[in-house]
Amino acid sequence: MTRYLVKKFIITFLTITILSSLLVSNANKWVFAHTFSGDESATFLALLEMIKTEAHLAQQNLATNVPLAQEHADATTEHLDASQTKEIAERNERVANELNDSLMALKDAFNSTSAPNASDIKSKVDQLDAILGEVLSVRIDKNQLNNVTVKALTVNDLVGETLEHYGEAVGHEESSKNSESNSTANASNSTSMGSSNRGASSSNMSQSGNATDSTVRIDEAPYQTAQALSTRIIELYNEIRSNALNSTAANNVQTGLESLKSDVVKKVPFDTLDRLIDSTIAPSLNSAFDLKLQMEEEG
């Protein structure tokens, strides 16, 4: 083999090796950065809404109630777990790191030895809003971000979050967990949401749901979250209402969401809110956007 042919062979071999390495590298990225389903994207969109809601409630309460503001700031870190952070990092590691840093910075501002400063908290909330916007564009594919079904599922998820936080506010979850712990191992106490004092002041609420404003004692932090979510849900729903497949069902959803917001303000019994969602909001949303949700049977 001539020197020319040897040189040509070496160049060709090196070129193939480099191209193969690039293909393997890209293949690895394609394997790990998988495509998320519509359900997964809706859940993640709801998660971002939860973080943003808690952060803004922390800022709003700072001037009048620092401990309450701190509860909301602490809650911003409760929604994002290691798995979800990894999902973001698969798409953009910098964004994942900045999100974690931003969340911890807001939380730490309320846990430092010096009192939180309004200007500093505003700056941190603004920064968190900005990084959440980046997370949105990185984590959610554009076709799903604009998908009406995904948006309707997000509304459905946030309705569930509203009920969950309202239940926590009026002591419903705490009562349920305490009942379960009487018949099972006491280890279940370690999974209780929030502090052990949450819901304790709501013990006057009748288990049959016959409660009034005078007997329901509210845990303010989750109650404010439920209020904020009930307002935000209507805003999100109005963005997709005109795309509903069934106009009658769409109108029923609107009426149901307005009632949800009003009932939270009126501090109705938990069972009243639960029935509203199960009998009106969920089935109407399901029908309006053909979500194929599994409806709970009325008992």
* Predicted local distance difference test score (pLDDT) of residue 297: 61
On whether both 160 and 266 belong to a single domain, the answer is yes
On whether both 241 and 290 belong to a single domain, the answer is yes
**Which of 123, 141, 159 is the C-terminal boundary of a domain?**
141
Q: How many domains does the chain have?
A: 2
In a domain, 23, yes or no: no
In a domain, 190, yes or no: no
Q: Report pTM.
A: 0.76
* Predicted local distance difference test score (pLDDT) of residue 294: 77
Tell me which amino acid residue 21 is: S
On whether both 151 and 250 belong to a single domain, the answer is yes
On whether both 74 and 166 belong to a single domain, the answer is no
Which of 133, 127, 114, 211 has the alpha carbon at shortest distance from 167?
A: 211
In a domain, 234, yes or no: yes
- Token duo for residue 12: 């060709």
* Predicted local distance difference test score (pLDDT) of residue 200: 31
In a domain, 27, yes or no: no
Dihedral angle, C-alpha 208, 213, 214, 218, nearest 10 °: 90
On whether both 127 and 53 belong to a single domain, the answer is yes
On whether both 206 and 119 belong to a single domain, the answer is no
On whether both 130 and 109 belong to a single domain, the answer is yes
On whether both 121 and 236 belong to a single domain, the answer is no
Cα(10)–Cα(47) distance, integer angstroms = 53
Which of 297, 237, 294 has the alpha carbon at shortest distance from 261?
A: 237
In a domain, 221, yes or no: yes
Which of 145, 169, 198, 200 has the alpha carbon at shortest distance from 267?
A: 169
* Predicted local distance difference test score (pLDDT) of residue 12: 55
Q: What are the C-alpha distances in Å from 250 to residues 231, 233, 244, 272, 282?
A: 17, 14, 6, 21, 11
Q: What are the C-alpha distances in Å from 91 to residues 97, 130, 182?
A: 12, 17, 45
DSSP state of 194: S
- 98-137 burial code (b ≥16 CB/10 A, e <16): bbbebbeebbebbeeeeebeeeebeebbebbeebbeebee
On whether both 219 and 263 belong to a single domain, the answer is yes
In a domain, 21, yes or no: no
Q: Which domain covers residue 202, as residue numbers? A: 147-173+198-299
In a domain, 207, yes or no: yes
Domain at 293, CATH number: 1.20.120
Contacts of 81 (CB under 8 A, 6+ apart): none
On whether both 120 and 226 belong to a single domain, the answer is no
On whether both 205 and 256 belong to a single domain, the answer is yes
Cα(6)–Cα(11) distance, integer angstroms = 9
* Predicted local distance difference test score (pLDDT) of residue 113: 84
Tell me which amino acid residue 171 is: G
φ, ψ of residue 95 in degrees (nearest 5): -65, -40
Dihedral angle, C-alpha 178, 184, 190, 192, nearest 10 °: -30
**Which of 121, 141, 161 is the C-terminal boundary of a domain?**
141
* Predicted local distance difference test score (pLDDT) of residue 175: 45
On whether both 110 and 217 belong to a single domain, the answer is no
In a domain, 132, yes or no: yes
Q: For tokens 């390495």, what's the residue? A: 21
Task: Specify whether the CB–CB gap between 170 and 227 falls below 8 A.
Answer: no
Mean pLDDT of residues grouped by 10 in the chain (299 residues)?
53 52 43 65 95 98 96 94 90 95 95 90 97 94 91 97 96 54 39 33 37 64 98 98 97 98 97 97 97 71
Dihedral angle, C-alpha 248, 251, 256, 261, nearest 10 °: 170
